């Protein structure tokens, strides 16, 4: 559904389903302990093409929950990732206690309404796609509905903007969205610049236990992993091993 159609058809929620402010997603990753994993559901991507031919999102979500995922990210963009808000709604309905991230190219507040209506607990906001004014507006709008905004950055300038606009969950994307090149050193470099009290998540290109341990040592609260899990023949076992630090 194109953005103009979304504006016409998506209803603004009349009241929050939970108290405004920081929600379940933030609480999950703010708690101390071992690094936590966000397992992603996606059919395809611009960089990898079709990742999963036999795409059964509920079965995939079940594997993730059995493997101990702390949260699930659902791609809702149809054109580039083969997703939909309906997939998110179905996953949340089946696993109501698991925090769910609405992951899309959010450029209009109607998408935040869509995320809320589908049952999401958190919404991805990409700093590179939004002005400071819009980013601050969307963070506040998410807060008003009890949704946690995960603000994605790729460099020092975007991180500074995110923090200035009120981000309290920062996702460092190791992938340059302009070139699709992936470098985990982006997360390692930016980690020390993220203030204490802000939840920090590393995203993209995380494939093995060595990387997990590097990022955990740098103080990341969570990792968002998609392709490595989606391509695995035993998603729950791979997730369990990464979560527990087993080879």
Catalytic machinery residues: 40, 42, 103, 152, 173, 203-204
For the chain, what is the HEC assignment? CCHHHHHHHCCCCCCCCCCCCCCHHHHHHHCCCCCEEEEEECCEECCCEECCCCCCHHHHHHHHHHHCCCEEEEECCHHHHCCCHHHHHHHHHHCCCCCEEEECCCCCHHHHHHHHHHCCCEEEEEHHHCCHHHHHHHHHHHHHCCCEEEEEECCHHHHHHHHHCCCCEEEEECECCCCCCECCHHHHHHHHHCCCCCEEEEECCCCCHHHHHHHHHCCCCEEEECHHHHCCCCHHHHHHHHHHCCC
């Amino acid at each position: 559904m194109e953005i103009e159609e979304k504006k016409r058809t998506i209803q603004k929620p009349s009241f929050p389903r939970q108290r405004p402010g920081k929600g379940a997603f933030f609480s999950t990753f703010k708690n101390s302990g071992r690094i936590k994993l966000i397992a992603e559901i996606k059919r395809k991507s611009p960089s990898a093409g079709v990742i999963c031919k036999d795409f059964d999102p509920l079965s995939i979500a079940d594997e993730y929950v059995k493997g101990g995922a702390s949260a699930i990210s659902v791609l809702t963009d149809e054109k580039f990732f083969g997703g939909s808000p309906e997939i998110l709604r179905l996953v949340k309905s089946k696993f109501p206690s698991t925090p769910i991230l609405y992951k899309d190219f959010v450029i209009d507040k109607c998408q935040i309404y869509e995320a809320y209506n589908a049952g999401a607990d958190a919404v991805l906001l990409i700093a590179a796609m939004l002005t400071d004014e819009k980013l601050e507006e969307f963070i506040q709008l998410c807060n008003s509905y009890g949704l946690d905004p995960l603000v994605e950055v790729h460099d020092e300038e975007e991180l500074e903007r995110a923090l200035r606009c009120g981000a309290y969950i920062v996702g460092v994307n190791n992938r340059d969205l302009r070139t699709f090149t992936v470098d985990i050193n982006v997360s390692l470099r930016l980690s020390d610049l993220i203030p204490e009290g802000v939840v920090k998540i590393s995203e993209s290109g995380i494939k093995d236990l060595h990387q997990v341990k590097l990022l955990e040592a740098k103080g990341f609260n969570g990792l968002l992993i998609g392709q490595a899990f989606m391509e695995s023949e035993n998603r729950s076992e791979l997730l369990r091993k990464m979560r527990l630090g087993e080879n």
